[in-house]
Structure formats: C-alpha cells, structure tokens
Structure 1
C-alpha cells in the first residue's frame, strides 16, 4: 500500500498526464476520460501515438486519420476532438505535458509550434519509441517509475524542440485568431446546450451574421450548428443513461431535448437502438 501511495503522490506532482488508449472507454462513471474525447482545447502540449485500430482526430478544421503508428502533435490552444468507435481496439498513448512546466523551462515557449512531420523518419521513430515506452511504464504501475516517465518525456521534448519545431509566428497567427473565435462559441454551447439556443444566439457570440456563421461553422467543424448541438446533447444523454437511474423523460430534459419523443428519435438514429435498451446493455448495472 505504501508503494502505491508513493506512486500516486509522485504522479500528482509531475507535469505529465498519460492516457493509455486501451483505457479510452473506462467505466461509465470515470469522469477523468470523458472530457478528453469531446471537442476541447488546453494550453498543455499533447503528443498522440496511434497503435492498433484506426481512429480520427479532428483538429482545427482538419480531420486526421490515425492509422497504426501514426503520430500527431496537438499544440497549445488547438481545438481538437477524438472520434472513436467502441468496437475498435486501441493500444496507443497520449502524452500531455503541462504548459506551466514548459513555460518555466522555456520562457519563450509560446514562440514555438510543433509538427511531427517536420522531423525526418529517424527522429520520428525515436519519439515513437519513447512514447511506447511511456505507455508500458505507465501501465505496469511500479514504484519510482515516475522518474522514468519524466526521463522519457524529456527525450521526447528534446526531439520535438530540436527537430520538429517551427516559428509559429511566421504562419500560424492568423489561424490561431480564427481558432480563438470558436473557443468562445464552443464554450457557450457547452454551457447552454440544455437551453433552447439558436443559430442566431451563437452567431452573436462569434460577432458574425447568421448566414455567414452557418457556413463558416460547418466548414470549420465539419458539422452544421444543428448537428453539433445534437451531438453535445447526445453525449450528455449517454452519460446520464449510464450513470443515473433517471427515467427517459428526465434524461431528455436534462440533455436539452424538448420532448422525450424527439430524444428517442435522435437516439435511435445515432445508436440504432432505444435509450432503454442501450442502458441495459451498457449501464453500470448491466452485470447485476
């Protein structure tokens, strides 16, 4: 027990977060991973390595297919979303390095932008090696392994800064300004999806007229506003189905659907089954 306590305390104090992809779909009540998969952004630097089945990452208007041994860098402040299938087998890793740590180590860190494709094949292979090692160390949960995790993360950072970095001020400033517009929009939708919000409401947040915003939103996200709002509401509904005993009427209202009938209709379109059946098959009480 003492060794486990030491491991947990060390992890709390280290500037790293590690997500083993085999844990993409943990127990339904595990909130730690829920926010990592939906559309979001953070100031931390994230390096993703795919192993196993393919999945998609949407990042700043582009969709990346993460085939086996594909690597992607998510820079500070970039909007991104993991798009997965529960039927697939994932075995890669995501390494998230705290912004405050990077800023403390590299005072002009904000002047850097990273892309794994900038480096040559040899250095990408080295980064891949360190990432796989990080995944394996993390999963074995041995005492004092946090030192090894930090060592490997340092090697990854060295390779990124030395071989895979660019001056972001030269070509990315305009794109980031465009991205910042949608941070406010996404935040507003996330906070108000239970309400009867409209395209006009959200367009005002972006300070654009409704018709232009509608086209621009779809071009950026790959979904129109209505479909994106439905997606956010459906994510909430799934969470409530799996983690509460609320009846379908309550779930529909708490998820922002006007009626349980419309909720059931949209749910069946997305999951090819009813909310009740989905809860029986996937809920926390499914094995009882």
Structure 2
C-alpha cells in the first residue's frame, strides 16, 4: 500500500528499542492519557505496574490490570486509554522492527500470542520492573544491562509465543487491515477539515451505513466519537504545551465551535481547558518546590 503513514518510533539512545515508564512517580499521567488508534511495524509490550488501563487492538476491547501485559504485534492497529482520576502506571517497551528482522528474518510470517499457557510471564515481570528503575533512576552503564534484557525478552517471545496466522483469532482482520490503515491515515491528515461521514464514506466508495458499521466493527467506536476524540487528543497537546487562546485551538483542530470543544474537554478531563492548563502549571510548580525542599 502506497502513501500510508504510521507512527514513527524514536528509539532510546544505545538501545534497539523505545522504553518509557509513565506513572505516579513522574508527571506523564497526572490526570488523563489517551493514545488514539495507530500502528507501527515494531512490536509493543506494555506491563501495567499499577491500576488499570483500557484499549482496543484490531477492534477487540481490552481491560488490563496491574501485573498484566498488553501485547501488540507488528502492524496491529491499537489504542490505549488511562481512566481519569484513577492512579495507574505502566512500563512501555517498543522493540525495533529492524532489530527483530535482523535477528529473526522470518518475523513477517509469524504472530506472537502472549496469552499462551507456557509463557514465562514471571520472568518478564521481573525484567519490566528492572526497566522501570532504569527509566526512573538511570545510571551511566544501565543501557548495557537493558540491552541484555531486550535480547532475553525477544528470546522468550520467540521460544514460547509463536502462532500461525491461520490459527489467529484476527484472521479476518488481515483481510481488511490495509483498508483500516488507509482510513486512519486519511483521518489523521484531514481531521482539521469538515470531515463529515458523507465525505469520508464517499472517499472510500462506501455508503454511509456500511462505512459506519465497518468502522465500529474494526475500531470498537463510532466514527463520530473517534473523530471527536482524535481532535481532542491533538488539541490537548496545545492546551498543555502552549499559551494559545482556547478558541483558536478549538477551531484549528477542527471543532465547529469553542463551546463543543469545551464540553467534550470537560467531559474527559472533569474541568474546562483553561482550568486544566492552570491545574497543570500549579502541579508542576508544586513538584519543583518539593524537589527543591528535598535538596
């Protein structure tokens, strides 16, 4: 498929992977987090260390609690959401596709199932907790140890979790995966415009009814709700990282008016965008003051 964009994974320095911890020990998940549907060639493993998170993988809803994993195969369309006002933490590991391909050239012809009964989850939990410490308290030579963990993780997966695509519950998904990626790419490139159901259905040569039905089947959400959430996700970055006027942010990201944007934002974050921006500033100042007092 040509001209299809996907999430580019920026690797950690000296590692063939992206590793990040988000939780109460840092400010990344202070209030609410939502990663809209996307895909990449890399393999993604998330270990939930506290609380719970929800998500959708290939149209199948998941709810994962502390001590459990979220596993995303190469090319899978997935989204992750943290519940508002509920503490949670997770270690996210994204293994470079190029790194895996070099070590295991047959990676494109297999899929991995983390739920297999003989899967060595206890050892993986130990590794991910070690990587949490690496993220929170990095030391100069830690990357050497983490590299060894990455190799061990890949060995465990390839030794215990391979399944054939023919037996995979997502067999029918592969038939439509390219179309799903085209739709998500089209939305990401045009979400600022008046992207009505009629317009997008016509673009993909579908009736409104058929497009709506397939979209919900594939992504576990209505098209209207997805588009609103995607716009909100994009606008959120400007709320927390800029001083741009709230109305300008709303219009720039495709909302028909500032009132609809504020109402959706308040429904998600339990306060208006302006109050939320102020809340984050005050929280960051409190953290800085706390660190100074500890010094």
Report the TM-score, using the length of structure 2 for normalisation: 0.83
Displacement of 1:169 in angstroms is 4.7
Matched, 1:80 2:78: yes
Counterpart secondary structure, 1:194:
coil
Do the aligned partners of residues 262 and 47 (structure 1) sit closer, same or farther apart at CA in structure 2, a change above 3 Å counting?
A: closer
Residue 90 of structure 2 corresponds to: 92
Per the alignment, residue 257 of structure 1 pairs with 255
Cα deviation, residue 41, structure 1: 0.8
Q: 1:26 aligns with which of 9, 25, 28?
A: 28
- Structure 1 CA distance for aligned equivalents of residues 166 and 27 of structure 2: 37
1:127 maps to 2:124: yes
Name the structure 2 match of 1:44: 42
Between the aligned partners of 1:46 and 1:118, the Cα distance in structure 2 is 17
Q: Which has the higher strand share?
A: 2
Indicate conservation of the 8 Å contact 1:58/1:80, yes or no.
Answer: yes
Which of the residues 239, 242, 246 maps onto 1:241?
239
Aligned position for 2:279:
281
Checking the alignment, whether the CA contact within 8 Å between 2:22 and 2:29 is kept in structure 1 is no
Moved more, 198-207 or 69-78: 198-207
Question: What CA distance in whole angstroms lies between the structure 2 residues aligned with 1:169 and 1:103?
Answer: 21
Structure 2 Cα separation of the partners of residues 25 and 192 of structure 1: 31
State the distance in 1 between where 2:27 and 2:113 align. Answer: 27
Q: Provide the rounded CA distance (Å) in 1 between the counterparts of 2:36 and 2:282.
A: 21
Shift of 1:27: 8.9
Query: Residues 210 and 283 of structure 1: is their aligned pair in 2 closer, same or farther, counting only changes over 3 Å?
Result: farther
**3-state SS of paired residue (2:209):** helix
Q: Secondary structure at the match of 2:255?
A: coil
Structure 1 runs not aligned, ≥5 long: 1-9, 29-33
* Corresponding residue of 2:13: 12
Give the secondary structure class of the aligned counterpart of 2:105.
coil
Shift of 1:214: 0.5
Q: TM-score, normalised by structure 1?
A: 0.85
The SS at the match of 2:89 is coil
Counterparts of 1:167 and 1:242, CA distance in 2: 44
What secondary structure sits across from 2:49 in the alignment? Answer: coil
CA deviation digits over 1:255-280, x for unaligned, max 9?
Answer: 21122233233333433433222222
Contact 1:242 1:284 in 2 (8 A): no
Between the aligned partners of 1:40 and 1:242, the Cα distance in structure 2 is: 22
For these two proteins, the number of residue pairs brought into alignment is 272
Distance in 2 (CA, whole Å) between partners of 1:61 and 1:98 is: 24
1:103 and 2:101 are equivalent in the alignment: yes
Aligned to 1:50, the other structure's residue is in SS state strand
Which deviations, in whole Å up to 9, do the C-alpha atoms of 1:30-52 show, x marking residues without a partner?
xxxx8x82321110011111111
> For residues 74 and 266 of structure 1, what CA distance do their matches in structure 2 show?
29
Aligned with 2:59 (options 39, 58, 61): 61
- Alignment correspondent of 2:223: 225
Contact 1:185 1:205 in 2 (8 A): no
SS of the aligned residue for 2:226 comes to helix
Please report how far the alpha carbon of residue 285 of structure 1 lies from its aligned counterpart in structure 2 after TM superposition. 9.4
Q: Counterpart of 1:184?
A: 182
More helix by share: 1
Match of 2:173 in 1: 175
